Structure formats: structure tokens, C-alpha cells
Amino acid sequence: MTESDFEFLRGFLKQRSGLAMTAEKRYLVESRLGPVCRRFNLGDLHDLVAVLKLGRDAAAERAVVEAMTTNETFFFRDRVPFDLFRDVLLPQALQRNAGRRRLRIWCAAASTGQEPYSLAMLLQEAAPRLAGWQVEIVATDLSTEVIERARAGIYSHFEVQRGLPVQWLIKHFTQVGESWQISQSLRAMVDYRQLNLLNAFDGLGQFDVVYCRNVLIYFDAPTKADILNRIAACLAPEGALVLGAAETVIGLTDRLQPNPEHRGVYGHAAAGQRAAAAPLAAPLAAPAAMQARPPAPPVLAPASALAPLRAAAGR
Ligand SMILES: C[S@@+](CC[C@H](N)C(=O)[O-])C[C@H]1O[C@@H](n2cnc3c(N)ncnc32)[C@H](O)[C@@H]1O
């Protein structure tokens, strides 16, 4: 790849997805865009760049952007953000919104759906507390490909082994050939939409809890700041923003500040001070399946190892 082709691709990706690519990512560009060249019958990256420069092939442009995104995710990723949701953020929101009985959650870079479905499972476990409530999970991502996968809710054996307690696999999934499909009732809880975080968030409305995890790391500081400011505008006055472990608002915006009690959780600057003074809402009882720690490392067990559990569950 020539220097000028690499520079063009850097600019193209920055503009289309926010991805800030350093010079040492050349190898990544080459390895991920090689298959795109083959898919579009192009000889090499130079030909692909020529197509992008013409600006007449929307499918090729989308394929380049999607090939360069990192979609890594898994159920209950990092665990703590989900324990916090169950034990702190959800009870607090239930207390705050008790009058209007409405709860809105946004997963802002949902990838293939494991994050919103993890929250949906926790909400389903809390169903007795949510009777009569209108609960919405909006899950968005730049990539239409991952959104389609998330909507289908079909996961490989490897994917359901990553972070998902086996009891919840049995309870919420059905085996379809070699794969597992999440229940229709959980799929119905999540409203998937394609959304580029670089674009306006018009029409999304206000959210009580926003999960925007492991996506800001790919952007430069001005892009992070812009996205955080616009998320702040969508966050309910006492709402909570949850970021990934390597992400923060510090030094990027003064509209949001860290929750002093819960690492990785952020709130409106003014609301944060109030929250620090207010007592925490009583935590919900932890669902039995979550009291037992989910299998920590993603160990791939043979499908046959699940047979006794499925038999016990009558499947
Ligand atoms: C590493 S995954 C994170 C998934 C999930 N939040 C988690 O933490 O497990 C990052 C996701 O961000 C999406 N993404 C990248 N750039 C984006 C943008 N500009 N707007 C919306 N989503 C974007 C990617 O398509 C990818 O699915």
C-alpha cells in the first residue's frame, strides 16, 4: 500500500466512522481490507482507494468502514458494569421513575447484541419489580451487519461460552443446529437501530441509563468530547452513563463527571454532586444465576458437556 493510499484511507475512515488510525495500523488496514478487495473483484488496495475516491459505490464504502470496526464483545463483559446495573443503577432508576413507570436504556455501540441482551436478561430477572412499567432498550451500532446479527440473536457455541452463566444459557436460549438463539421475549425487548455516533442523536429521546462501552477508545479527543457532550444531552437529569474500563470523561467534557462511588459510571456534573450526598436505593436481590459467578475465562467446552444440563432442563 502506498503512503498516499494509506493517508487517503485514514482520512476516509476518520470522516466516516471516527476511527483514528495511527501509522502503525497499516498492517491492520492491509489485512482487513484485502478481503473487501476480493469481494468487490478489485486487484488491490490501490484499486479500492480509486473506487472510494470516485464516491459512487456506497456498498464498497460501507464494506470498508465495517471491515475496519472492531466488534469484539461478549455477554456480561467485564461483569462489574452489569452487577452495577442490577444492584445500583436499576434500583435507583426504579425509585426515581416510580411516578411515571417508564425506564429507557441505550446501548450506544451494541455490536452483535451481547451487551443489550445481558441487560435484558437482568431486567427479565427483575420482572416482578417492573410489572406495569414501560421498559425500552434501544441498541445502536454503526454497522448494519452486526445489527442484523444482533436482531437474529443467534450465537455460536463459542460466543455463548463467553461470560454467560450456563444456567442462563439453558433458561434463555434454544439450540438451533450448532448455534444458540436467544428467546423471542428477550429479542422483543431490544429495539435495534443503525446509528453512527458521529451523527446527530435526533429522535432518540432521553435515557435513564446509557452504556457506551469500548468504542470511544477508537476516537481522537475532539471526537470523544463531541460524542460525550451529545450523550449528556440525551441523559436524564440523574441518569447514568457507563463507559468501558479504558474510557473516561475526564479532560473531555465538563458536562459529565465520574460517579465518586462507582468506577466507570458517570453522571451530569451537577447531578453527580447531589448523588454523592443522597443515600443509595436498596439493591434488588441478586438473581440466583448471578449469585453463582459466571464462568470466568472463555473456556470452550464441547457441546456434549451441555447435554446433561439440557436434559435436566427438559430440552
Ligand atoms: C468493541 S465493540 C463494543 C461492543 C460493546 N459495547 C462491548 O463493550 O462489548 C465496538 C462497536 O462500536 C461500533 N462503532 C464503531 N464506530 C462507531 C460509530 N462511529 N458509531 C457507532 N458505532 C460505532 C462498532 O461497529 C462495534 O460494533
- What value does the mean pLDDT take over residues 301-313? 43
- The pLDDT confidence band at residue 148, using thresholds 50, 70 and 90, is very high
Three cell numbers written together for 76: 456480561
Distance from CA of residue 308 to its chain's centroid? 32
> How does strand 207-212 pair with strand 102-107?
parallel
Q: What's the pLDDT at 234?
A: 97
Q: Give the CB-side neighbour count of residue 289, counting CA atoms within 13 A.
A: 18
Q: Report how far ligand 1's centroid is from the alpha carbon of 176 (Å).
A: 27
The answer to whether residue 294 sits within a structural domain is: no
CA 27 to mean position of chain CA atoms: 26
Whether residue 252 sits in one domain with residue 154: yes
- How close is the Cα of 140 to the center of ligand 1, in Å? 9
Per-residue pLDDT at 306 = 45
Final residue of a domain: which of 46, 67, 88?
67
The enclosing domain of 14 has a CATH number of: 1.10.155
Residues 167 and 224 in one domain: yes
Do 55 and 168 fall within a single domain?
no
pLDDT for 107 beyond 60: yes
Of the three residues 41, 67, 93, the one that is the final residue of a domain is: 67
Q: What is the largest CA-CA distance in the chain?
A: 63
* Candidate from 12, 69, 107 with most ligand 1 atoms within 8 A of CB, to mutate: 69
Same domain for 150 and 40: no
In a domain, 122, yes or no: yes
pLDDT at 299: 32
Using the mean position of ligand 1's atoms as its centre, give its distance from the Cα of residue 226 in Å: 16
Task: Enumerate residues 6+ apart whose C-beta is below 8 A from 247.
Answer: 213, 214, 216, 217
Of the residues 82, 141, 198, which should be mutated to test ligand 1's pocket, given the most ligand atoms within 8 Å of the CB? 141
Residues 89, 229 within the same domain: yes
35: nearest Cα among 76, 59, 64: 64
CA of 161 to the centre of ligand 1 (A): 21
Residue 156: its pLDDT value, please?
Answer: 97
Q: Does 315 map to a domain?
A: no
Q: Name all residues whose Cβ lies below 6 A of ligand 1.
A: 17-18, 69-73, 77, 109, 111, 115, 141-143, 146, 196-198, 213-215, 244
- The verdict on residue 43 lying in a domain is yes
Q: What is the pLDDT of residue 284?
A: 43
Which of 62, 50, 56, 75 is closest to 16 using CA atoms? 62
End position of a domain, from candidates 39, 67, 95: 67
Look up residue 93 and give its amino acid. A
On whether residue 85 sits in a domain, the answer given is yes
E-only strand ranges, 122-234: 134-141, 154-155, 173-176, 179-182, 190-194, 207-212
- pLDDT at position 286 is 40
Give the pLDDT band (50/70/90) at residue 24.
confident
* Residue 88 and residue 50 share a domain: no
Statement: residue 96 has pLDDT above 90: yes
Shared-domain flag, residues 136 and 260: yes
Neighbours of 62 (CB within 10 A): 15
What's the 314 CA to ligand 1 centre distance in angstroms? 37
| Residue 69: all three cell numbers together | 470496526
Verify that 32 and 111 share a domain, yes or no.
no
The answer to the question of residue 136 being in a domain is yes
Structural domains in the chain (count): 2
**Structural domain includes residue 10:** yes
120 pLDDT band, cuts 50/70/90, is very high
Dihedral (C-alpha) 199, 204, 210, 214: value to the nearest 10 degrees? -30
Same structural domain, 13 and 110: no
Same domain, 9 and 136: no
Residue 108: CB atoms within 10 A of its CB come to: 25
Q: How far is the CA of 211 from the centre of ligand 1 (A)?
A: 11
Residue 75 lies in a domain: no
pLDDT, position 23: 86
Q: Write out the residue range of the structural domain in which residue 32 sits.
A: 3-67
Res 2: pLDDT = 92
Indicate the top mutation candidate among 111, 145, 212, 228 to test ligand 1's pocket, ranked by most ligand atoms within 8 A of CB.
111
Mean pLDDT of 105-121: 98
* CATH number of the domain where residue 124 is located: 3.40.50.150
Q: Has residue 298 got a pLDDT over 50?
A: no
How many Å apart are CA 131 and CA 127, to the nearest integer? 6
Residue nearest (by alpha carbon) to ligand 1 atom 19: 17
Q: Please report where in the chains the cell 450465537 appears, as a residue.
A: 155
**255 in helix, strand or coil?**
coil
Band of pLDDT at residue 197, cut at 50, 70 and 90: very high
Domain co-membership, 59 together with 100: no
Atom of ligand 1 nearest to the CA of 146: 27
Is 219 found in the same domain as 261?
yes
**Ligand 1 atom index nearest CA of 198:** 19
Q: Closest Cα to residue 32, out of 17, 101, 99?
A: 17
Calculate the average pLDDT of the chain: 88
Distance between CA atoms of residues 126 and 37, nearest Å: 48
